[in-house]
Amino acid sequence: MQHGSGGAPSAETPGGGLAWEGFVAGLIGYAMIIVLYALGNLIAGEWVLHTPTVLGSAILGEPLPDPVSATGPAPIFVYNGLHLLVFLTVGFVSAWLVREIEYHPAEWYLAFFAFVMIFMFSLVIVFAVAIPVLDAFPTGSVVWANLVAAAAVGIYLARRHRGLLARVESEGDPEVP
């Protein structure tokens, strides 16, 4: 990581800038959810796209699909499109929060609080959309899948900013002289 004056990072991060980091972080979170639910559906004996079909149907206000009959692709595309947009937004915001911590290590707790609030808000939105279909899939899986996705995004960003944790530990406590 290159640093400019005052220890702040330069605008160029090796391997891409802020937009690239946000894009990759969002794709990582998106992919983690897809993999976890595809595996969960297969383990439960469901069609691999059962969860996006059910959630897409809820978004579109359609009746729940019959597990035996086929459904059109619209619910799957709607859910995955919305899901991708949400995770790209989360990726960009997460990358920006990490960049802000680099500029202001003493205020890491504000970025952490913002990340936790975004995570909680996203769960509230998911559960609000999924109210009609809560019986169709285990709701605890939403929390676990999003925690795994958040951890994967965090690991990616931590690896991209390897020295950040040490900087936060050395400069991050405003109470210590």
Q: Is the separation of the CB atoms in 153 and 95 below 8 Å?
A: no
Is the Cα dihedral 73, 74, 75, 78 positive or negative? Answer: positive
* Per-10-residue mean pLDDT, the chain, length 177: 43 70 96 94 88 85 67 87 93 92 83 85 79 72 89 92 81 59
Give residue 61's pLDDT: 81
3-class SS at 117? helix
Q: The pTM is what?
A: 0.79
Give residue 69's pLDDT: 57
* Whole-number Å distance between alpha carbons of 112 and 114: 5
Q: At what angle do helices 74-103 and 50-60 cross, to 10 degrees?
A: 90
Measured distance between the N- and C-terminal CA atoms of the chain, rounded to whole angstroms: 26
Give residue 3's pLDDT: 42
Give residue 128's pLDDT: 79
Give residue 80's pLDDT: 93
Q: What is the CA radius of gyration of the chain?
A: 19
**Angle, CA 126 vertex, CA 143 and CA 38 arms, to 5°:** 60
Predicted confidence (pLDDT) per residue in 129-148, tens digit: 777 777 766 778 888 898 99
Give residue 115's pLDDT: 82
- CA distances to 59, 102, 106, 177 from 171, rounded to whole Å, are 45, 10, 6, 10
